[in-house]
Structure 1
């Protein structure tokens, strides 16, 4: 992707969808709400651990709904909606988090898909009207929010460096940072039409995995040597069949495999939505999809997968509820596929493989503790890099729409949220502040107390 494509005001934010796209969104929302109602899968990773008590009848549907709403509302209204409006691309926080809530909330099985479909209709018919209305305002805060693209895309590139530093120390982190910087500069110089962070992220993630696997292999070698020294050289590591966690994991995997056709349908639907290029799996991905850089988007979401496979696999095995997007491999696959029929087939096949392999993945992760730790560090690094990028990008948007006053309002709202215990989750607070600040600046304009920044 060339430098001018990264420029803030690139791309259309039109949210009008074709009839097939509208039907796909509505049908997928109906399906995800139904699956959530059955407690087979939820999108919010924070909700999944609570699903075991719900599945086993130790907590009520209303209590679980309250947990889901409490953990999801900030992301829906503070991140999902602003990102969709500013990029013109749908995202999982807007599409899947509400269907988590609606599915769990529904008292009847038949009602869940109706509620999900209703939310899908709100998305496909309501967002474009809100988008058009916002663009007609004197202070166009949605166009200003496109300023967020550059910091998100480039700071996100550093997440492997942060993960390596946290897990393996400053020296290896400095080496990884130097390698990534060299690769970004080289890519911008030699391949200006390629997203500059793509190669750097790939190498960074590979370095992290290499460090983790190397550490685990060394540890296993030492443990084997110790067993031999203690006279237990012939002893092999065997799973403890009496371990209650082993029994729970096995029961959860069996429960999910019983519903394999439903998961295959879900995988087909998610992959199809990604293939239509109206959906991005993450913050950086949404801007890349909006700019038409589907290969760049596929690379970004593919690298994220490494941070989420251990989390999703272990929480699914522990709770009996899978992820609505699985390991999220269907996102990058969908972006790259040439037609919807292939997306349906590949999405179904990927989910069938993921659900069938859950027990095996759990066993492998049990033998690779450093790789498991790398996943946690990757997720933390992704969160840290995006929090800074979104905050910085939001202040850039505030400056674009209101100059110093815009920065004062948006930055002030963010700081107030921090001081009051983060009523809105940190990652969603800054985009939400841009929207609230934009509305306030429009009110000041109508009161003849503010003149919009030229071009804002």
Structure 2
């Protein structure tokens, strides 16, 4: 059943991309819209999709998937974007996209099991140390609202948000240590990062809603009504893939972002759900804006389906509720457009939230990658990651900054095995 879920997700997502209905890569949606309007040829669209997504699949999605043995959704959906848009959009192209997308999904889950078994035969089994890549991510994630506030409003407001969030986190630690919260005889523990995150998000949206529109407002709902109608017309497809992804998340097969993935790898499903919810709320302005403006949706919608998968106790309930949630998202697009028009600060926060998360993940993953690499090969690991990062910067960043830590840690693991086989290095204890 687990394999079937992943195969179906791969097949449906590839069809959605092939029919220009939905793509996962946020940056691709405006490009697909240009193709729909006739200003961009299919070949150019396919090449653009490959250029924008291939590096992220290899350098970002796959390393995270390997480090936690849970599929990061980027691994599958960035790949199906490429598959769907490379295959011609015609009567035979769509079935081919479905088959290739399904085989790609199967390859991911089958290959993952094979990779895990392969590590047991290596002189230096570096699978467990790879888990260190995501350790700083979980803790630092709570800082992204403060960074978004600083980017959009001012550094002073960003510092204030950061300080208050940090204080709330430490208060939560103190409350847990003293055991103040109890239900009957049972002590209740607060999630300290989750509490800090909630406070930061309150600050962010409070500042955003205070920002008033300048000049005449734009009626987004009316301006892009035809494109919103196009998305609504395909709502059944979104319900299908939304239900499948919610079900797969419930089975702990996949995660929607590196933060919740690492929390799941640690067995913290509730915390992963809280992190996924914060990310989803923060990304609604970005996903909604690009969808309304382009008429091209995301196969994961506002990413609330991951929250459903993590909190609903039964896989089939998760499938049903996931489908209903993405249905409501699509049906509410006009109302969301009017809300974003009324509060331009909230609309603008989407891009700042994305930038804040990217900057934070770049730093956290570099630290995590360095720690993982040094656990695999003490001393050499730090040397390699530092050199790898700096050389990548000088070369013009052929590997995105976010991927340097995970890719570097994997490279150190491979090098360590080669050195042990050559007798140049002892097996790390």
Please give the residue correspondences for 1:82-93 in structure 2 after superposition, counting only pairs within 5 Å: 82-93=63-74
2:389 matched residue in structure 1: 414
Cα drift, residue 33 of structure 1: 0.6
Instruction: State the partner residue of 1:226.
Output: none
In structure 2, the CA distance between the partners of 1:194 and 1:80, relative to structure 1 (3 Å rule), is farther
Matched-pair contact (CA < 8 Å) for 1:279–1:289: no
The question of whether the paired residues in 2 share the 8 Å contact of 1:249 and 1:359 is answered with: no
Q: Report the CA distance between 1:136 and its aligned residue.
A: 3.0
Query: TM-score with structure 1 length normalisation?
Result: 0.86
1:65 to 26, 46, 52: 46
1:320 aligns with one of 278, 295, 320: 295
The structure-2 alpha-carbon separation of the partners of 1:238 and 1:79, relative to structure 1 and needing over 3 Å to count, comes to closer
Q: 2:5 aligns with which of 15, 24, 27?
A: 24
Q: Mean alpha-carbon deviation: is it higher for 101-110 or for 172-181? A: 172-181
Q: 1:228 maps to what in 2?
A: none
State the superposition RMSD in angstroms.
1.9
For 1:270, which of 231, 245, 260 is the aligned residue? Answer: 245
Determine which of 106, 109, 124 is the counterpart of 1:121. Answer: 106
How far apart are 1:453 and its partner, in Å? 2.4
Q: Which residue of 1 aligns with 2:183?
A: none
Moved over 4 A (4+): 237-240, 245-248
Give, in angstroms, the shift of residue 29 of structure 1. Answer: 0.8
Deviations 1:241-294 (A, max 9, x none): xxxx87661111111111121121121112111111221111111011112212
Alignment match of 2:255 (pick from 262, 271, 280): 280
1:213 aligns to 2:209 (yes or no): yes
Number of residue-to-residue matches in the alignment = 414
2: CA distance between counterparts of 1:191 and 1:301? 23
TM-score in terms of structure 2 length: 0.92
**CA–CA separation in structure 2 for the residues paired with 1:195 and 1:80:** 27
Tell me if the contact between 2:221 and 2:337 (Cα under 8 Å) persists in the aligned partners. Answer: no
Q: What's the CA shift for 1:414?
A: 2.2
Unaligned stretches of 5+ in structure 2?
Answer: 178-188
For residue 27 of structure 2, the aligned residue among 6, 24, 46 is: 46
Match of 1:162 among 132, 139, 147: 147
Distance 1:76 1:210 in 2: 36
For residues 395 and 421 of structure 1, do their structure 2 counterparts lie closer, same or farther at Cα, with a shift above 3 Å needed?
A: same
Q: How does 1:335-346 map to 2 (within 5 A)?
A: 335-346=310-321
Report the Cα distance in structure 1 between the residues aligned to 2:151 and 2:293, rounded to whole angstroms. Answer: 27
Q: Closer, same or farther in 2 for the Cα pair 1:438/1:247, shift >3 Å?
A: same
Q: Is 1:252 the equivalent of 2:236?
A: no
Q: Does 1:204 align with 2:185?
A: no
Q: Which runs of 5+ in 1 are unaligned?
A: 1-19, 224-236
Moved more, 70-79 or 53-62: 53-62
Cα gap change, 1:281 to 1:238, in 2 (>3 Å): closer
Residue 104 (structure 1) aligned with residue 79 (structure 2): no
1:385 aligns with 360
